[in-house]
Amino acid sequence: MHDGKGCGRKMRQKKKIINEMAVSFLSCSSNEAFGRAAVAAFAAQLDPTIDELSDIKTAVSEAVTNCIIHAYRDTLGTVYITAKLFENGELQVKIRDKGCGIENVKQAMEPLFTTGGEERAGLGFAVMDSFMDGLRVTSHPGKGTTVTMRKRLARRPVAHE
């Protein structure tokens, strides 16, 4: 007799969080560097390689810039960043805004698509995707956008104190 637990499938184990952080700031272009540096400093706990750290900083920079340029356009809003470090050496970063949202996420993620005019290259999501191991974008027009990125770091974390 089967007890019904798991329905004969392997249960997915939840990854253990070893640390997390949250920060928010105004959508000023001068704060892009702050967001990038905050996540890089947090990720440094996992002792990433220089290349891994550079990848993280580039992806975060693109996501924060999207909030500043596209989500809030010519107004000030708040950019929210949360980051988690997992025992398996994975970093998860969520960058969220409460801006205008994206009507068609699939189209927005296509390389060279932009709503920012000729001065914009339309490569932000492509850059994020190429530098991170996972990218998910959820958006609701008029309510905002959340970009979730994952990066698996080659080095294993040191014992957490």
Task: Provide the sign of the torsion angle of the four alpha carbons 58, 59, 63, 66, taken in this order.
Answer: positive
CA distance 18 to 25: 24
**Predicted confidence band at 73 (pLDDT cuts at 50, 70, 90)?**
confident
Average pLDDT of span 53-82:
93
Average pLDDT, the chain: 83
Residue 1: predicted pLDDT: 45
Share of the chain above pLDDT 90, in %: 61
* Phi, psi torsion values for 116, nearest 5 degrees: -95, 10
- Per-residue tokens: 121: 């290259």
**Predicted confidence band at 106 (pLDDT cuts at 50, 70, 90)?**
confident
C-alpha triplet 82, 85, 86: angle, nearest 5°:
135
The domain made up of 17-152 has a fold known as Heat Shock Protein 90 (3.30.565)
Residue 3: predicted pLDDT: 47
- Return the active site residues: 62, 66, 120
Encode pLDDT of 83-104 as tens digits.
Answer: 999 999 999 999 999 999 877 6
Task: Look at 60-69, 101-110, 135-144 and tell me which has the smallest mean pLDDT.
Answer: 101-110
pLDDT above 90 (res 78): yes
pTM for this prediction: 0.79
In the chain, where the domains are located: 17-152
